[in-house]
Structure 1
């Protein structure tokens, strides 16, 4: 059983959190919602789902997890401004852990400076940002490069989830 950290802030894309989270749990893995504070309610931007954070980013280490998932929407903007969240992603990458980001999720990877020389995809609105971070942008439903898994939009979720489960 793998332990997967879901990095979350308000206004995440509802399905990009719910579907991978449910799939990870259904596959028998432990899914942990990581927020700025433990016990905080974190709401989706469409209002169809909300979650309560299981742990605070200040109370965990990347070494305790097997993978990291970064749902899209506006949540990655809220995640990337927290130094501890960015440091967590950087350490997970240094340890070779799977790091999956969909839609705007790669914004956190940019802040963690882990995209240089990697192939990636993302929501089209941030493709210039990933290129400036040193990545090769590919317009594909899912791109796997080493430990990194990236996808573009909710319609790519089946491929995104498949590749997360493959890594676990």
Structure 2
């Protein structure tokens, strides 16, 4: 059983949070929602789901988690400008923790500087950002490079979830 944290802010892609979150719980993993603040309701951009943050980013310790999952939507834009989020992701990468981002999720990885020299995918709209961050972009449903897992869109969720579970 692994401890898995989801980095979340308002405006995430509903299914990109809901489906991996439910899959991790069904597999018996402990899931924690890390927000910019603790106890805040975070709503999906389509309004079909909402979650309350269990802990704030400034209270969290990398050593407590085996994996970090970053759903897409507009939430990664709010997360990537927060220094604690970037430090957390950098530390997780240094410790070889699984870091998984789907759709716009790799924006947080870009800001943390962890995609340089890696193979990656993402939502097509940030493809150039991924390349400019020093990654090799592949238009595939899921790309695994060491501890980093990336996917493109909600239709890729089954492959994304499968690879996260394989790593755990």
Bin for the TM-score computed over the shorter chain: over 0.9
Q: Distance in 1 between matches of 2:135 and 2:56?
A: 30
Q: Distance in 1 between matches of 2:80 and 2:30?
A: 23
Aligned residues: 168
Alignment RMSD (CA, Å): 0.4
What are the within-5 Å matches in structure 2 for residues 11-160 of structure 1? 11-160=11-160
Q: Distance in 2 between matches of 1:96 and 1:121?
A: 19
CA shift digits 1:29-49 (9 cap, x unpaired): 001000011100000000000
Q: List runs of 5+ in structure 2 lacking aligned partners.
A: none
- Helix, strand or coil for the counterpart of 1:32? strand
Give 1:81 shift.
Answer: 1.0
Q: TM-score, normalised by structure 1?
A: 0.99
- Helix, strand or coil for the counterpart of 1:73? coil
Q: TM-score, normalised by structure 2?
A: 0.99
CA shift digits 1:108-154 (9 cap, x unpaired): 00000000100000000000000000000000000000000000000
Give 1:64 shift.
Answer: 1.0
Q: List runs of 5+ in structure 1 lacking aligned partners.
A: none
Check if 1:167 corresponds to 2:157. Answer: no
